[in-house]
């Protein structure tokens, strides 16, 4: 199994451009999430999904859109990139242990390093 894969690994955008960060997992996990990691800020949840067709906002959703048409894929779209979105983005997936998925391990992808000029 490849686990959680993310593309691209690096990306440079100009302010106002749009792009999609790809995330895929081959573990048949129900739950998928997007985080951003900034120096001194830890990991902050952007959006998450509890299954195909179901998404919800996390702590810092503004400027980002997501969709979940399949179990495997969870792309993150930047609508109009801003310098404040310069960050490292991590996608994660986890499985359900029943009862709402308590105590699940999150499996992280290798990250996408995005710079917005």
Partner 1 sequence: TQLLKQSPQFLSIQEGENLTVYCNSSSVFSSLQWYRQEPGEGPVLLVTVVTGGEVKKLKRLTFQFGDARKDSSLHITAAQPGDTGLYLCAGGPSGGSNYKLTFGKGTLLTVNP
- Phi and psi torsions of 81, nearest 5°: -60, 145
31 lines the binding site for partner 1 (CB under 8 A)? yes
User: Of 106, 98, 85, which Cα lies nearest the Cα of 32?
Assistant: 106
Burial class (CB in 10 A: 0-12, 13-18, 19+), 10: exposed
103 lines the binding site for partner 1 (CB under 8 A)? yes
104 lines the binding site for partner 1 (CB under 8 A)? yes
Q: Which of residues 46-75 bind partner 1 (CB under 8 A)?
A: 48, 50, 58-59
21 lines the binding site for partner 1 (CB under 8 A)? no
Binding stretches for partner 1 (CB under 8 A): 4, 31, 33, 35, 40-45, 48, 50, 58-59, 90, 92, 94, 100-106, 108-111
């Amino acid at each position: 199994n490849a686990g959680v894969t993310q593309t691209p690994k690096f990306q440079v955008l100009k302010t106002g451009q749009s792009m999609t960060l790809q995330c895929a997992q081959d573990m048949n996990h129900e739950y998928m999430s997007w985080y951003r990691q900034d120096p001194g800020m830890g990991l902050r949840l952007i959006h998450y999904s509890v299954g195909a067709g179901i998404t919800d906002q996390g702590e810092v959703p503004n400027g980002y859109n997501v969709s979940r048409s399949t179990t495997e894929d969870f792309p993150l779209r930047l609508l109009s990139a801003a310098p404040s979105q310069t960050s490292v983005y991590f996608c994660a997936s986890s499985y359900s242990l029943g009862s709402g998925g308590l105590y699940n391990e999150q499996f992280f992808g290798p990250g996408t390093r995005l710079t917005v000029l």
